[in-house]
Amino acid sequence: MPQLQSAIFARAARVTKGRAVGADTDIEELRRHYSSLSDRLGATPGPARFAPAQLGPVKGEWVDVEGASAHRIILYFHGGGFIAGSPETHRPLIARLCQAGQARAFSLAYRLAPEYAFPAGLRDAVDSYRALLHKGVSASSIVLAGNDAGGGLAFACLLAIRNAGLPMAAACVAMSPWADLALSGWSILANARSDGALSWELLFMSARHYLKKQSPADPYASPIYGGFRDFPPIMVHAGSLEILKDDASRIGEKAAEANVRVSVEIYDGMQHLFQANPDLSEARVSLQRMGQFIRSKAAGNAAATAAQ
């Protein structure tokens, strides 16, 4: 049954690809593609509450679910190729992660390209983290998390946190992270036909809008080219059929080289962001595993009450 559900999910994802992306595809068409992907995230689990808020200069929303500790915080960066998406489009996925991790989340509305090119989104990520610290939240209570572009942004944020000498977050969790905007991973080609959601062309055009004239090998854009020294424990999940599979694997290799505790899990037969389908047993296992990881790494102490 899970294999059948996965096949149906993959078929639905392929439908969202629409016409081929090319050099003449405008930004609105690219955003419609990402919007069709986020439409697959399903219904928001109840009861979940969403409250618009602001951390420093950065807008977003607090996500609260039943049974969550108010003292364990997920700072979440949504996906969308750095050009699309919002806290609202990713509510179902974020709420399910909060349930699994027994945590509340601040979902960041970071600035998007091409209106705000690199490194605007990264600055928003760091500013929001700094704002949590200024509110008296302990770094040991904060877990950075994200999916695809947001997953890559989470690791770029870790680089900036470390290099700025800020207290390091407790952990980092990523689903199908996009960590190499140079698109050099072998799976970009090897899984081109099996990935029902993403394509080389889509990612290339997204990176072009995001980077403008900046190098795709800049570690703050593509953290796979940075050093992971002094990073917190990391958990990364991806599907074996997606073109970003190697980004996940290479994060594991970079972390291992730096003696950082890391767990990379590649789910056999799964598509990009398979956690979007709550009916998949693999999706439930993945979220449960990430939730357990979040609960074990985030201290959840009372210092986090200042964030409310």
Q: Cα–Cα distance between 111 and 209 in angstroms, integer?
A: 13
CA atoms within 13 A on the CB side of 299: 13
Q: Cα–Cα distance between 245 and 252 in angstroms, integer?
A: 11
How much is the pTM? 0.93
pLDDT at 40: 86
Q: How confident is the model at residue 4 (pLDDT cuts 50, 70, 90)?
A: very low
- Within a 10 A sphere around the Cβ of 142, how many other Cβ atoms? 28
Q: What is the dihedral of CA 206, 207, 208, 209, to 10 degrees?
A: 60
125 lies in which domain range?
A: 2-307
Q: How confident is the model at residue 8 (pLDDT cuts 50, 70, 90)?
A: very low
Q: Cα–Cα distance between 246 and 126 in angstroms, integer?
A: 26
Cβ within 8 Å of residue 303, ≥6 positions away: 71, 136, 137, 138, 141
Instruction: Say how many domains are in the chain.
Output: 1
Q: Cα–Cα distance between 241 and 244 in angstroms, integer?
A: 9
Alpha helix (H) residue ranges in the chain: 2-16, 27-38, 91-101, 120-134, 149-163, 187-190, 200-211, 245-257, 281-297
pLDDT over threshold 90, residue 301? no
What is the 3-state secondary structure of 231-272?
Answer: CCCEEEEEECCCCCHHHHHHHHHHHHHCCCCEEEEEECCCCC
pLDDT at 304: 42
Point out which residues pair with 263 in neighbouring strands.
235
Is there a contact between 171 and 146 (Cβ–Cβ < 8 Å)? Answer: no
CA 250 → CA 37, 103, 107, 279, distances in Å? Answer: 25, 28, 26, 29
Q: Considering only CA atoms, which of 227, 252, 238 is closest in space to residue 156?
A: 227
Is there a contact between 301 and 145 (Cβ–Cβ < 8 Å)? Answer: no
CATH of the domain at 270: 3.40.50.1820
Is there a contact between 207 and 80 (Cβ–Cβ < 8 Å)? Answer: no
Tokens 């080389």 sit on residue: 200
Quick one: 259 exposed, middle or buried, by C-beta within 10 A (0-12, 13-18, 19+)? exposed
pLDDT over threshold 80, residue 23? no
Tokens 């970009």 sit on residue: 188
Q: How confident is the model at residue 78 (pLDDT cuts 50, 70, 90)?
A: very high
Q: What is the pLDDT of residues 31-60, one digit of tens each?
A: 999 999 998 888 888 889 999 999 999 999
pLDDT at 70: 84
